[in-house]
Amino acid sequence: MKVVATNRDLNFKYEVIETFSCGIVLKGTEVKSLRDGKVNLKDGFAVIKNSEVILRNVYISHYDKGNINNVNELRDRKLLLHREEINKLVGKIKIGGYTLIPHKIGFVGQYAKIELSLCKGKKLYDKRETEKKKEAKRKIEQAIKDGRIN
């Protein structure tokens, strides 16, 4: 997968349980904007409505050389998943209180694909713990690089 954009806040704000790769339905010049990397996944999320997975709040900007066929940047986009996967997601979301967050978007060959993550929100103390672990790992790597630790 040639990754165009990633959601960097995902691992900080959420605990990732499982990931799914799925297709995305795009219109007109959205594909060209996506190839140019003009996409923002930061506020995006997915909902299941009428047994379809809908992606919301993902910003794909207008194509600069586009025309009247440009569409709304924040429109809802349908995601392409198998029926079994959708049923599995419905069960986990209703029972476990999980949410679907887009992690990566890119191309596999000529097709646009998005990687959805089934996530559970972190509490403030979980975020602090994650930061402490990252800082400790950074210090150890720096010490190894400086030659203080063999």
Is residue 133 included in any domain, yes or no?
no
Is residue 107 included in any domain, yes or no?
yes
Q: pLDDT tens across 56-100, in order?
A: 999 999 888 877 778 888 999 999 999 999 999 998 888 888 999
Residue 100 pLDDT: 93
Is residue 128 included in any domain, yes or no?
no
Range of 50's domain? 2-122
Residue 60 belongs to a domain with what CATH number?
2.40.280.10
Is residue 139 included in any domain, yes or no?
no
How many domains, in total, are found in the chain? 1
The pair phi, psi for residue 18, each rounded to 5°, is -155, 155
Is residue 142 included in any domain, yes or no?
no
Residue 67 pLDDT: 78
Determine if the pTM surpasses 0.85.
no
Q: How many angstroms separate the CA atoms of 62 and 69, rounded?
A: 10
Is residue 66 included in any domain, yes or no?
yes
Which tokens sit at 41?
């996944």
126-to-92, 103, 122 alpha-carbon distances in Å: 22, 20, 6
Is residue 86 included in any domain, yes or no?
yes
Residue 124 pLDDT: 79
Residues of the chain with pLDDT under 50: none
